[in-house]
Amino acid sequence: MNYKRLLNLYIPLVDFIADIIGSHCEVLLHDIVDVENSVIAIRNGYISGRYLGCPLTDLGLKLLENKAYLRQNAIVNYRSRTADGKKLISSTYYIKDDKGELIGMLCVNILDSPDHPITRMPSRLPLEAVAGYGMGIGPGGEGEGDRRARGKEGVQEDVQEKAKEKVQGRAKDKVQGKAKADTKADAGIDSGIDTKADAEENVQAEAQADERAYARDDPKEEVAELLSTSLDYVVNEAVKKVMAKYKVPGERMSTEEKSAVVRQLRESGIFKIKGSIAKVAKALRTSESTIYRYLTSK
């Protein structure tokens, strides 16, 4: 069976899992043959900001490089983080062909907080899937809500829609609380809430405070995967993570240290990304030919 036809069989699972878990769960299907345009189906992409055609993650590249899929069928319940700081619990299922070779990954990312505002939002957004894989987005076809062709702009609209729902929902809760408080006040109980306007004025500030507190980093927390829309981000973060171990800038590194950095980056799989050698050479303050030499040396 053609590998795209095999991946096509997993697209309905993206919808299935997202519908079961809810709006705080992002589900993606990756085609690992094209790591730079890997996402071929996605639900609830507003969580990480990703959309169709986004690249494979840093962890995905590493799994391809070390061939972990030959030793296991999945990895589950590891920590990941979005570019804007959201913390998630993630799991990845390896999709293999009849020869046992990896062709795709089914990834589930769940917000690591039951109190995060997104968990209170309805999951109404449709499945996005690459048309070439033979799967539409559901009964709506090309009608209202179809975000297949809108990429990043579609995700930005989703984020705005969710933010609006959050503010409206919290304002409604405040107003309902005000109504209950008025009833108590009539009975001689101090409500602590002045007016409907006061309640609505506080909604935006409280929502922003929630997001800041939620996204605060724990320096002791180990993040296995960074979820991003950008290839540059994937490469730059991988380089930054490895170079941080040496505590010296690239221009002050010895030849042995630079060679060790390149070796670790090769193990991370980032050299599968076009243009990564130039970026690494710039970070290490050396030439691209030197990076190639490090890559070919044992």
Q: Write the pLDDT tens digit of every residue in 89-138.
A: 999 999 999 999 999 999 999 998 756 555 555 555 566 666 544 433 33
Residues 124 and 175 in one domain: no
Residues 106 and 245 in one domain: no
Distance CA 169, CA 207 (A): 11
Residues 204 and 112 in one domain: no
Residues 211 and 292 in one domain: no
φ/ψ of 77, rounded to 5, equals: 55, 45
Amino acid of residue 110: I
Residues 12 and 142 in one domain: yes
Q: Which domain holds residue 285?
A: 230-296
Q: Is residue 224 part of a domain?
A: no
Q: Which of 4-18, 120-134, 147-161 has the highest mean pLDDT?
A: 4-18
Q: Is residue 221 part of a domain?
A: no
Residue 212: predicted pLDDT: 47
Is 179 a residue whose pLDDT tops 60?
no
Residue 213: predicted pLDDT: 44
Residues 148 and 196 in one domain: no
Question: What's the rounded mean pLDDT across residues 234-244?
Answer: 85
Residues 100 and 239 in one domain: no
Q: Is residue 245 part of a domain?
A: yes
Distance CA 118, CA 122 (A): 9
Assign 121 to helix, strand or coil. coil
Residues written for the chain: 298
Q: Is residue 21 part of a domain?
A: yes
- What 8-state DSSP symbol labels residue 118? G
Tell me the two tokens of residue 215. 């996204």
Question: What's the rounded mean pLDDT across residues 214-220?
Answer: 45
CATH at residue 102? 3.30.450.20
Q: Is residue 223 part of a domain?
A: no
Q: Model confidence at 170, in pLDDT bands (50, 70, 90)? A: low
Instruction: Judge contact between 138 and 15, C-beta under 8 A.
Output: yes
Q: What is the pTM of this model?
A: 0.64
Question: In the chain, at which residue ranges do the beta strands (DSSP E only) sit?
Answer: 25-31, 39-43, 74-82, 87-96, 102-111, 128-129, 225-227
Is 280 a residue whose pLDDT tops 60?
yes
Q: Model confidence at 157, in pLDDT bands (50, 70, 90)? A: low
Residue 83: predicted pLDDT: 87
Residues 15 and 143 in one domain: yes
- Give strand pairing partners of 89: 79, 110
> Is residue 231 exposed (0-12), middle (13-18) or buried (19+ Cβ within 10 Å)?
buried
Q: Is residue 192 part of a domain?
A: yes
Distance CA 155, CA 50 (A): 7
Instruction: Judge contact between 177 and 206, C-beta under 8 A.
Output: no
Residue 231: predicted pLDDT: 80
Is 153 a residue whose pLDDT tops 90?
no
Distance CA 294, CA 224 (A): 26
Residue 207: predicted pLDDT: 47
φ/ψ of 183, rounded to 5, equals: -65, -40
Q: Is residue 225 part of a domain?
A: no
Which residue in 79, 50, 56 sits closest to 276, CA to CA? Answer: 56
Helix axes 276-283, 255-268, angle to 10 degrees: 150
Residue 211: predicted pLDDT: 47
Q: Write the pLDDT tens digit of every residue in 70-96.
A: 999 999 999 999 988 889 999 999 999
Is 204 a residue whose pLDDT tops 70?
no
Distance CA 188, CA 225 (A): 54
Distance CA 187, CA 164 (A): 35
Question: In 22-86, at which residue ranges do the beta strands (DSSP E only) sit?
Answer: 25-31, 39-43, 74-82
Residues 95 and 43 in one domain: yes
Assign 260 to helix, strand or coil. helix
Residue 226: predicted pLDDT: 80
Based on the structure, what is the number of domains in the chain? 3
Residues 47 and 87 in one domain: yes
Q: Is residue 117 part of a domain?
A: yes
Distance CA 129, CA 260 (A): 40
